[in-house]
Structure 1
């Protein structure tokens, strides 16, 4: 068979023209590539046969050029290691002019900022096993341009898991895989605008990034008042322009209260009467510590609730895996919107998560993390009872964060004192809707994010700065 340049080893873009003779031109080009840093010290060069075939010149020409550059010290050649750019060939760059030194800012030593699980607990070994099994069994078409809804293997596995663990009515045909909650909300914002919805109600405390995504889609975001029973969903009927509402019913973020059953029913009644939609953010629904988790709101009316879930809290946000369980009439519109901007989510991780769920590894991991986070919360409660007995933790025993109520007017000073102690904290006020009434001073403390080795120090630093 005739040898082809496409069958050889590593590629090297080099232009040996511009000097008298091929060998001299090749040497000049290699010297300049090493001198300029385009070929970094230690870079392995193609064999003389490969480079000769690529350039269409005689192999002896390349071999002679390599030999001379080795003699000059630009390259090194060792048996079994090939020809490489020598370490001494690293370019000398002029030292940049020194700008004025900025003020030294010490980063936090500890962080109790909410929003992330303990990343050190990602189940690497079990995930790798699942990936091996999934990729070994994957059909060839799994690596092509597939269904924008996502791989059927993952949609089927999720349908079973969500029905069993969260009480979701989840037909695989109604599930769309996306790249996390933000991606799902962007898609819903686009679809709602196409449906001529003008306003999406949001909870009076929540993440501004979610409000901003809806605003960027051209939607206004009036807020629902919030109290100890969750959002006052009875007020939805008075918001005449609202066509949808974004909520965290199982564990309101950040206040930590579940939506009262009467208010869950009121939200569904509003959606049915007004033809509206409820966007249910079930961000940490698996993590309830004092009782069985409250089931998803979606189970009350699958045709009026869009269920949004992710692996960000249960596994890791870096996976960028989320899912939408849609009313039947929305599947085509959401799939079309997704196909226009992001045809499909990466297949290997979809297949791996499907196998991770099917094998039972997902359930085992969630149970293990539930125990870990419960211990952390118990330790937080015990430390506060001893060191700051006048302060109260509000909200239910659930999720990866707790709300610590503070004396009125002290939230900002506590956060500043914590910063001086090298502790990053977030106040409840950070999450308030601009039009909402304040509900009091408090800290939103993430006991889920620190690693085991950092948790004790972070907890001690917290206790030192509390009033």
Structure 2
């Protein structure tokens, strides 16, 4: 735990765009999230930290005030300002068992038991057999032309995406990171994000040099009117908000597009699991409505496996961006899998399996308060007691679950995010029973 001997000038390096108080807030935020500043540790008095960093005391007080407002720090009159555990922070916690959980209900994974091994192996074998020798040279920066063409047709057909420059990348995280770096180079240094939202993408934006502005989410999706003035980029999950599970309403879609036009801004649309909607057809992309204002991101991480490292970005026509493309053999295998209809068949089977599994989990949880539309690979379980305690109790029983606060900037009502994508069908009832006992 950092103490009086901490070299604050090294731990909190002031770099990146923006005035010094924003640089300091960004450095403190990163140190808390990465575990450099543990839960409950006292940060130095403003006068002392200002002397250590060679800046004015005003810079420190402004940074502290910002992080107190965001929930990263807790200040109390007559007491030191201390680190407070917030969404995604790696802080000191009660040790958890070293053995893997018996039942993994953490969100983020598809059913790895049903990865289409044979079909994928046949696609790879076909590439190795028939691809011309020229395809085994250095990968093209934006991806192989064949996969880019096949992806463009697939996204138009399945997601209602508008024609655009499809680039192949290592996944949504890789694509968003590339766009954030490009935005910073053009002078756009603030990014609005949904709160709660996917923690990793917030970190990626901050690493790229952007200041992140959390914007609340309600039953209609992101509250567009709360996007701070001066912000010209926003990251959203319209088809199935992560992690609340709401769908961006038509009214909010119109507001979001109007906002982008008014501020000459860019919408970053994460279409992470839109293929899985169980009660109706999934809504189309926002990008399909205004391709000049929206960058669309997707991957096979939630449909096949994150181990493949295959994703895409569809950018507005005026954008030029170079991405680090995945291995060519894997790109061509995905193109063949899409072309053959194998990907569509895999998705149809996965939808049936996930819908049935979600129904079983909802029934097994009994009279619990659940939220989130019938879609994707997770739902939210609301609690009447401390969620962190339930997470610890469940883990001791062999059940891994996620605290909703792990994805929030500002902590809120206690709730758990339950992922059922990688949960075996024959384990649903027992996992739900153990979870009910932990929450009792």
- TM-score, normalization: structure 1? 0.71
Which range is displaced more, 114-123 or 146-155? 146-155
Name the residue aligned to 2:422.
Answer: 449
Equivalent residue number for residue 371 of structure 2: 394
| Pick aligned residue for 1:121 from 96, 114, 121 | 114
Matched, 1:111 2:88: no
| 2:389 counterpart SS class | helix
- Shift in alpha-carbon separation, 1:268–1:462, aligned structure 2, 3 A: same
Q: Which residue of 2 aligns with 1:466?
A: 439
Q: Does 1:156 align with 2:142?
A: no
| 1:87-136 deviation per Cα after TM superposition (whole angstroms, max 9, x unaligned) | xxxxxxxxxxxxxxx99745422211111111111000111112222332
SS in structure 2 at match of 1:444? strand
Which of structures 1 and 2 has the larger relative contact order (alpha carbons within 8 angstroms, sep 6+)?
2
Q: Does 1:192 align with 2:183?
A: yes
> 2:169 matched to which residue of 1?
178
Displacement of 1:222 in angstroms is 0.6
1:379 aligns with 2:360: yes
Partner of 2:267: 278
Structure 2 equivalent of residue 422 of structure 1: 398
Measure, in 1, the Cα distance between the counterparts of 2:304 and 2:258: 34
In the alignment, what sits opposite 2:216? Answer: 225
Question: d(CA) in 1 for partners of 2:173 and 2:106?
Answer: 19
State how far apart, in whole Å, the 2-side matches of 1:170 and 1:364 are: 24
- Which structure's CA Rg is the greater one? 1
- Aligned with 1:266: secondary structure? helix
SS in 1 for 2:388: helix
- 2:30 alignment counterpart: none
What is the CA RMSD across the aligned residues, in angstroms? 1.7
| Structure-2-length-normalised TM-score | 0.76
Moved more, 108-117 or 318-327: 108-117
Aligned residue among 340, 345, 355 for 1:359: 340
Identify the structure with the greater helix proportion.
Answer: 1
1:413 to 366, 375, 389: 389
- What is aligned with 1:19? none
Task: Summarize the alignment of residues 60-139 of structure 1 with structure 2, pairs less than 5 Å apart.
Answer: 105-139=98-132
Matched, 1:247 2:236: yes
1:328 aligns to what SS in structure 2? Answer: coil
Whether 2:310 is the aligned partner of 1:321: answer yes
Tell me if the contact between 1:401 and 1:445 (Cα under 8 Å) persists in the aligned partners.
yes
Matches within 5 A, 1:34-53: none
The Cα shift of 1:185 comes to 1.5
Distance 1:216 1:103, change over 3 A: closer
| CA-CA distance at 1:317 after TM superposition | 0.3
Q: 2:277 aligns with which of 288, 299, 303?
A: 288
Counterpart contact for 2:170–2:310, Cα < 8 Å: yes
User: Secondary structure in 1 aligned to 2:276?
Assistant: coil
> 1:345 and 2:322 equivalent?
no
